Structure formats: structure tokens, C-alpha cells
Amino acid sequence: MTTPVIGLLTDFGEKDYFVAAMKAVILSINPEVAIIDIAHSIPAFDLRAAAFTLWAVADFFPAVAIFVVVVDPQVGSARKIMVARGAKHFFIGPDNGVLSPALEKEGCLEARELRERTLFLPQVSSTFEGRDKMAPAAAWISRGIPFRQVGPVLRSWERIIFPQPGIFKDRIEAEILHVDRFGNLITNVSGEKFLKWYGGKKGQPLAVVTDEVDFEAKIATTFAGGPAEKPLLIVGSSGYLEIAYQQASASQKLKCKAGDKLVISRGKRQKEAEKGKFSGRN
């Protein structure tokens, strides 16, 4: 029998005992589980950042894994807690959309509302349901309780939908989904779609325009594989197009952040006059 894994993703930061309380509760119920911290430095209440992070990492988890996501601005209110059985993993979190991108990427087999009180701590606070409801439920699921026991079927749930790129013959209208620790800008354009659009003419320069800057970029396959001191376009490790610099922060150099829009087009750098022409999609 293999060790089950519980992955924790929160906006609890590093300074409090909150994450430790969840782990302590989990190991009190199932001492044989392995816990992986996905991240706890999600900006407070940033549902989209948490949804992106879960979406990017879930695939890599072993089969017997349960994700517990506690980014929960409405904790204790009437919002539901959902538990979903995906094609590979279990997902637990508030019904505020934070689970949806990862869940729908994997395929949702069944969703239920977490209601079964016997799965909770004996004393339930109204401000820390991660500790009092979600962590113990995850531990019980890791011990193999029947999924239907968690509560009634949930027919619909909140969704977070990542903005889709506009792919046109002459340009791609993209958005930055995430800026990573190195300052790389991860866009919403999948590598597959991008390479299909780009075609076979390798070496052809691309022009990129944002609200702040415009620049010419070259496609590279590694961060070290393009010209130094110039922006690179790379299909990154999440399978999406990234804008990066060799050993420098593209976010700082290009003054870009998550949510910013950009237009990628063939050919040389755009003229000043064309900047800012977004068609306003998404």
C-alpha cells in the first residue's frame, strides 16, 4: 500500500502557526500521510494566483493525492466547502472558484459539499475552517472513507476562468497569468497554440507591445539559449509561453505584472503609433 499525499495551498504566509495547525490535525487523524506544501505565500485572498498555482502543479502529484486549498475570503459565511473527485486526485476547498481550473483540466468525476460533521474537529471555529473542517476531511479521505460520506452532491460550483488569448492571423492578444520568482512572465498562450501560429520560420523576430513598452523578442528554448540582455520568448515548464531574460527579471525590465495584456506580432518592432491597440477581448 502506497503512502497517500496531501498537498496544501494557502495564503497563510510564513509567520503564523496556521499551516502547522492544519498539518497537526492531519497527522492526528492519519499519521501515515505525506504532506507537500504547494505554497503558502499566495497574496492574501488572491483566488486567481492560487487557482493558477494549483492548476500548474496538480498533474505532477502522485495518484493518491488530495489537495487542500485555503484561500478563502468568505470563510465561515454561507459559501459552501466543496470536495471533488477528479480523474486522478481529490480536491478540497471553498466553493469560490479556486479549485476549478485544476479540477476541470483534470476532469471532475463528482463534486460534493463538505457537510459531514463527523469528519470535522469536535470544536469548529467560524474563522479557520481550513483547520477545523478541510484538513480533517482530507485526512479522513486519505484513510479511504467512501467519497459519498463527505456530504450531498454539489451540482454546480463557482468557476474561475483564465482569460483566453485572441489568436489572429497577424497577432496574438495575450495576458500575463503569473510572474514567477525569477521575474519570468507566464502568459495565457499555450506552447502548442503559439508554435502553430508562429509556423516553421525559425529565427523570425517577433514584436511585443504592452501598455508600458514595446520590444522585439526572439524565440529561445532555454533561458541561456538566446541573446543576453534581450527579452526571450520561451515555451516554459508549465507548457505556456513565457517572456524572460537571461538571469534578469523580465517583470522589472519590462514593467509588467500579472493581468497585464500584450500583443505579439510578426516582424520588427512596432511603430509608436500602434501601441496600445488592444481589441479588448476577455
Considering only residues 130 through 169, tell me which ones interact with its own copies, judged by CB under 8 A: 131-132
CA angle at 51 for the pair 46 and 55, rounded to the nearest 5°? 155
Cβ(91)–Cβ(111) below 8 Å: no
Q: Which is nearer to its own copies, 44 or 153 (CB)?
A: 44
Rg (CA), the chain: 21
Min separation Cβ 31 and its own copies, Å: 4
Length of the chain: 282
Q: Which residues of 183-192 are buried (b: 16+ CB within 10 A; e: fewer)?
A: bbbbbbbeee
Specify the stretch interacting with its own copies by CB under 8 A; choose among 71-79, 106-114, 163-171, 196-204: 71-79
Specify the stretch interacting with its own copies by CB under 8 A; choose among 56-64, 108-116, 166-174, 254-262: 56-64
Which of 107, 109, 110, 127 contacts its own copies by CB under 8 A? 127
Q: What is the DSSP string of 222-236?
A: STTSS-TTS-EEEE-
**Residue 213 in the binding site for its own copies (CB under 8 A):** no
Min separation Cβ 271 and its own copies, Å: 32
Cβ(208)–Cβ(231) below 8 Å: yes
**Residue 37 in the binding site for its own copies (CB under 8 A):** yes
Specify the stretch interacting with its own copies by CB under 8 A; choose among 2-10, 149-157, 169-177, 199-207: 2-10
**Residue 225 in the binding site for its own copies (CB under 8 A):** yes
Min separation Cβ 84 and its own copies, Å: 19
In angstroms, the CA 258 to CA 261 distance is 9
Q: What is the DSSP string of 93-138?
A: EESSSTTHHHHHHH-EEEEEE---GGGS-SS--SS-HIIIIIHHHH
Which of 56, 68, 114, 207 contacts its own copies by CB under 8 A? 56
**Residues binding its own copies: number (CB under 8 A):** 67
- From the list 253, 254, 260, the residue with the least C-alpha distance to 188 is 260
Q: Which is nearer to its own copies, 44 or 273 (CB)?
A: 44
Cβ(278)–Cβ(263) below 8 Å: yes
Cβ(8)–Cβ(57) below 8 Å: no
User: Interface mask (CB under 8 A) for its own copies, residues 166-195, using x and -?
Assistant: --------------xxx-------------
* Crossing angle between the packed helical segments 18-29 and 135-142, to the nearest 10 degrees: 30
Min separation Cβ 4 and its own copies, Å: 8
**Residue 70 in the binding site for its own copies (CB under 8 A):** no
Min separation Cβ 279 and its own copies, Å: 30
Cβ(106)–Cβ(87) below 8 Å: yes
Task: List interacting residues with its own copies (CB under 8 A).
Answer: 2-3, 5, 7, 11-21, 23-25, 27-28, 31-32, 34, 36-42, 44-45, 53-54, 56-57, 60-63, 65, 73-77, 125-128, 131-132, 180-182, 221-225, 234, 236-237, 239, 242, 246-247
